[in-house]
Amino acid sequence: MPHKNLENLRSQRWFAADTMRAFAHRQRAQQMGMAREQFLGKPVIAVINTWSDLSPCHAHLRERATQVKAGIIAAGGCPVELPAMSLGEVMVKPTTMMYRNFLAMECEELLRSLPIDGAVLMGGCDKTTPGLLMGAISVDLPIIFCPAGPMLNDRWRGQTVGAGTHTKIFWDDYQAGEINQAEWQSLESRMTRSPGTCNTMGTASTMTLIAEAMGLSLPGAASIPAMDAAHSRLAWQCGHNSVDLVWRDRRPSQFLTRASFLNGLVTWMAAGGSTNAAIHVLAIAKRAGIDLTLAEMDGIARKIPLLVNIFPCGEYLMEDFYYAGGLPALMTRLTDHLDLSAQNMMGQTIGEIISTAKVTDEKVIRPLDKRVSPLPTLAVIFGNLCPDGAVIKPFAFSEKFLHHRGRAVVFDSNEHMLNQINDPALNISENDVLVLRQAGPVGAPGMPEWGALPLPKKLLQQGVRDMLRLSDARMSGTHFGSCILHIAPEAAVGGTLALVRTGDEIEFDYSMRSLKLLLSQDELSQRRKDWKTPPPIYARGYGKIYLNEVEQANLGADFRSLTGTAPTPEPPIY
C-alpha cells in the first residue's frame, strides 16, 4: 500500500516551499493565531461540519467538532474546521434534495481548493450523508464519515413515538377529529426530544447504516445516539484515525468496491430502510465508478429478509437498535448475503468487524425465521407508466392495494392537490388512485417528499387510512402507505405520467412489478402529440443550473457534469 511522507503531503504544497506564495500561506495561517509547528510538516485534516442554527438534527455537531479536532491533534495532525451547507431536512425549501448536489459540489471543491490531506465528514440528516460522500469520493482523499447519531427515544401517553412516523399518524388522527387542538399543540414538543437525526428508520438512519456497511464509518458508528457519551468518543476516534489514514494514503478508491455497495444494499433491505436510498446509492456509486441499477436493487430486495423491527415498519427506535448491538450485530444475521472480505477505511474486513458482535435483543433485531414482514423493503416497478422504473416500499402497503385497479384522480401539481384534496365537492372514493405529477427532479423542482399524498379529509373521517397513490415525487423514509414513487421519466420531461387524466384506469400488480395506464397506444400517442413542455421555473441562479444539469431519479438525480470518475487536475500553486 502506498504511504505518504512529509514531502508528498498535499497540504505541504501550500506551506512548505521557499516561495513568496508559500510564504503568504504560512503568513496567513499565522494571522489566524496558528503556530508554524501546528501546520508545517503535519497532515492537515478538514473537519467538514454541516452544523447550523437551522439544522436541529446537527445541533450538537459544533461541540462534537471540538472532539474530532482533539483526536486529530492527539494523533499529530492539524485540524481545520470548514462549514458546509447545512441541510436541515424539515426547514429547507423547496426541498433539501434540490441542494444535495450543491452540498456535494461544495464538499468536493472545499477539499480540492484548500491545503487538505484528509477529512472527517460530519453529517447525518438525510441529504447530508449522500451529499458529503458524493463530493468526497470524487476528490478521493482519505475520509471518515462521522454520523450525527439518532435523537433519543420519546414516549407520549405511554406509547413509543418516533420522529416523522408519528407526526404523520397523529396528523391523520387530528384531521379525522380523533386528536383535539390542545393535544395537537402539545405534540409539537414531542417526538423530537433531543439533537440527532430521526430516530425511526428514515432516510437518515438508512443512509448512515449504508455508509457504515460500505466501510465509510467506524464500526457501530451509525446507531450511537447523538446524546450518548459514546458519541463524543466516536468523534474523537474519527479525528484520531483520520491522521493515520493520511499517512497510509488510504483513499476510498482503495476499498470502495462493488462488493462494498452490495453490502450497503443488503443492509438497507434488512433494516427496512427508506426508498430514498435508491436514488442516493445510485448517485454515490456513479461517483465511485461502480455500475448499479434499480433492477439489481429489486433482485437483492427479493432475497434479503427484513429483520430490523423499527418504525415505520416495526415497533422500536434507533436507540433500541443501539442497545441490540447495532449494525455489526445485524450483519451477523446476514453473513450468507454479505461479502465478508470487503474492507472499511481502516482496512478491517466485515468478517473481522462482526467476529465479536452479538445480537442482544431479538425483539429489535429479529432472527432469520422471525422476519418483521414477509414483504421486502423495496420493489422496483416497470410498465407503460414508468418505463425507466418506479419504487415502492412493499411492507408499507395495505395488502388490498398490492394488486389494484382503480380510477385516476389527477393533480397537476402539489399546490393543485393541496387546494383540491379537502374540497367536499371532490369526486373521490377510497378505491380511486391519487396521482400527483410535476413533483419530480425537474418538475417540482427538486423531487420533494410529496409522494405520501394526504388523504381527503372526508375519507379520513369515514375511517379510511390508506389509498393507492402514485407520483414522480419521493416519500419520507419515516412514512408509510401504498405509495408508488420516483416514477421515471417524470411528467415534466414528458413521461407517461404527464398524459394521465382523471377518470383513466390504472392497474398496479405488485407480484408482476407492473404499473399500467390502461389506454390504447393510439390514445397515448395522440395525448403525447398534444403535450407541451412546461416552462422552466427558474430563469437564473442555482435553480437554472440545477434544471439544466439534474438527471432522472432512476439514474441517481446527480448533475450530469458531476457523475463519473474523469480525473480533475489538482489546483496549481502559484
The binding site for ligand FES (CB under 6 A) comprises 57, 89-90, 125-126, 163, 197-198, 202, 204
For ligand FES, give the closer residue by CB, 116 or 226: 226
**Residues 6+ positions from 295 with CB-CB distance below 8 Å:** 380, 389
Question: Closest by alpha carbon to 154, among 92, 118, 198, 111?
Answer: 198
**Residues 6+ positions from 547 with CB-CB distance below 8 Å:** 442, 445, 536, 537, 538
Query: Cβ 130 to ligand FES, closest distance in Å?
Result: 13
Query: Cβ 414 to ligand FES, closest distance in Å?
Result: 19
The CA distance from 142 to 244, in Å, is 9
For ligand FES, give the closer residue by CB, 202 or 446: 202
Here the cell at position 474 is 419521493
Give the torsion sign (CA, 383, 386, 391, 397).
negative
Report the SS3 class of residue 508: strand
For ligand FES, give the closer residue by CB, 209 or 381: 209
For ligand FES, give the closer residue by CB, 61 or 386: 61
Run of H or E residues at 516: strand 514-517
For ligand FES, give the closer residue by CB, 126 or 472: 126
For ligand FES, give the closer residue by CB, 101 or 128: 128
Bridge partners (DSSP) of residue 407 are 505
Query: Cβ 265 to ligand FES, closest distance in Å?
Result: 21
**DSSP assignment of 106-154, as one string?**
HHHHHHHHSS-SEEEEEE-STTHHHHHHHHHHHHT--EEEEE--BPPPE
For ligand FES, give the closer residue by CB, 278 or 409: 278
Query: Cβ 469 to ligand FES, closest distance in Å?
Result: 21
For ligand FES, give the closer residue by CB, 202 or 456: 202
Residue with cell 499517512: 247
Here the cell at position 264 is 450497503
For ligand FES, give the closer residue by CB, 164 or 252: 164
Query: Cβ 123 to ligand FES, closest distance in Å?
Result: 10
Query: Cβ 151 to ligand FES, closest distance in Å?
Result: 8
Query: Cβ 467 to ligand FES, closest distance in Å?
Result: 25
The CA distance from 102 to 135, in Å, is 9
Query: Cβ 57 to ligand FES, closest distance in Å?
Result: 3
| CB burial string 383-392: b at 16+ within 10 A, e below | bebbebbbbb
Which CA distances in Å does 99 have to 104, 362, 441, 547? 8, 39, 11, 12
Strand blocks (E) in 424-474: 433-436, 468-471
**Residues 6+ positions from 437 with CB-CB distance below 8 Å:** 410, 411, 412, 413, 443, 471, 472, 490, 491, 492, 497, 498, 500
For ligand FES, give the closer residue by CB, 125 or 334: 125
Question: Closest by alpha carbon to 390, among 285, 305, 510?
Answer: 510
Query: Cβ 147 to ligand FES, closest distance in Å?
Result: 11
Question: Closest by alpha carbon to 407, among 281, 500, 307?
Answer: 500
Query: Cβ 272 to ligand FES, closest distance in Å?
Result: 16
The CA distance from 418 to 437, in Å, is 13
Query: Cβ 87 to ligand FES, closest distance in Å?
Result: 9
Query: Cβ 96 to ligand FES, closest distance in Å?
Result: 9
For ligand FES, give the closer residue by CB, 163 or 331: 163
Query: Cβ 485 to ligand FES, closest distance in Å?
Result: 18
For ligand FES, give the closer residue by CB, 132 or 246: 132
Residue with cell 447545512: 86
Prior bond of 312 cis (ω within 30°): yes
End-to-end Cα separation, the chain, in angstroms:
31
The CA distance from 127 to 99, in Å, is 8
For ligand FES, give the closer residue by CB, 197 or 344: 197
